[in-house]
Chain A
Amino acid sequence: MHSGNSPIFVRRTALLLFSAILVFGTFAMAGPRSAAMLIVGLGFGCVLEGMRFGFTGPWRAIVTERDGRGLMAQLFAIALTAVVAFPLLASHPDELNGAYAPIGFAMLVAAFVFGAAMQVVMGCGSGTLVNAGSGNAIGLIALLGFVLGSFLGSLHLAWWTSLGALPVYTLQGLFGNLGGLFVTLLGLAAIGLIVLKRARPGMRLPRRGLFVAALLIALLATLNLVIAGQSWGVVYGLGLWGAKLVSAVGVDLSSSDFWGAPAHAQRLQQSLLTDVTSLSNIGIIVGAFIIMRWRSSPGPQVAALRPLSWLAVALAGIVLGYSARVAFGCNVGAFFSGVSTGSLHGWAWFFAAFAGSILGIRLRPRLLQTLLPQGATQ
């Protein structure tokens, strides 16, 4: 890597070389699937950062500015993914898993809290990874909090879920494979119509670049499913990172309900280079970093915060991680992947998180008044 004064072509060549070394190194150490998942993650990071495809901002924009373009792009990407994922899941049930989870009391509350918290810190699951990789100081602190929070959430997940949860319902199970896809597309279209009605003229349909980004996100999400055998996710990997770090300082997690379970204990013992969610997460961070350094100018840093406010950002990150774990995923694992693979909990997550998001939008100015120095903007 070179300093900001290096000629840009040297820097870009170094970035390409860096990416190639990462991919080939992963291939040599962990095999072709791991290398492929790293490439998919790099793709996610490049598209999310480079083409400004996100989740938190569009949810805010439709509420505050009546700008529906970003949310329409999300719905478009989910619909495209569903059109491919439903037949694949139906034809290869022994090889591919959708993002299926139960709807429960704690899950709904946690999704609501996640929606509120993501508006306060302006970052969701994927957004936190992208922000950190692209050099956003708040994003990096929030990421560390997210790792800790999702780990802590995993320790309490069984207790929260025991408060009351329905069985796992899928739209395929309720309506059949074709019927489930039809209901999913119908639901997405219904939300799209609400967005179109809410949005101002000129703010209804995404510009061409955002449509292309949605197409690429759908393609990458499908590749994630085909290569990994499971849908795109973020939170499990971050919780695993927390568990790895805690284990490294001598904490025994074998008595934990979650990490003591055979499947999770195995993941804890195996290398992160064999964990598909960790690989895509690493790819997202590195991909966002590459895009930031690829640009001629990295852009301005976020606004200044008072020293104590960094602690508040970290706490918000912990809340994000904890609530995402209890809600069985964030905007990626629960909303995007849940809805696009037919999980009813994905829809419940969306409605709960969007309601929380509205609250978070109202809370943010009040909280940030105490966080930001007078005159600073974010």
Chain B
Amino acid sequence: MSSIEDIPSRPVVGYAALGFLLVLLVVDFRQAQPINPYQAPAPVALGSGQAPTAAHCTAL
């Protein structure tokens, strides 16, 4: 049976969470299409005249 001493400290687990993000971004970088900076959307959607293209949790 484990004890509380067996669980890594908060900083260690926090670094592990950042490590997960790093792995995710590396995997994504290797398989995703390169970002085209000339097709970047306007800085702010409001007033851009562009329809939103991002997906949301409510998307079917």
Contact = CB atoms under 8 A, between A and B. Distances in A.
Nearest to A223: B44
A248 B8 CA distance: 29
B57 A306 contact: no
Interface residues of B, number: 52
- Range, interface on chain A: 35 or more
A95 B52 CA distance: 6
Give the interface centre of B50, B55, B59 by most chain A CB atoms within 10 Å: B59
A44 B13 CA distance: 20
Given A135-B10, A302-B7, A100 B58 contact: yes
B52 A301 contact: no
A230 B45 CA distance: 9
Contacts of A271: 28-29, 32-35
A328 B57 contact: yes
B8 to A, nearest CB: 7
Interface string B1-31: 1111011111111111110110011011111
A96 B24 contact: no
Interface majority SS (helix, strand, loop, mixed), chain A: helix
Contacts of A100: 58
Contacts of B40: 30-34
Nearest to B30: A248
A267 interface: yes
Given A96-B45, A306-B1, A277 B35 contact: no
Nearest to A376: B4
B26 to A, nearest CB: 10
Interface of A: 1, 4, 29-34, 36, 88, 92, 94-97, 99-101, 132-137, 140, 143-144, 157-158, 161, 225-231, 233-236, 240-241, 244-245, 247-248, 263-264, 267, 269-277, 282, 285-286, 289, 292-293, 298-307, 324-325, 328-330, 332-334, 337-338, 343, 345, 373, 376
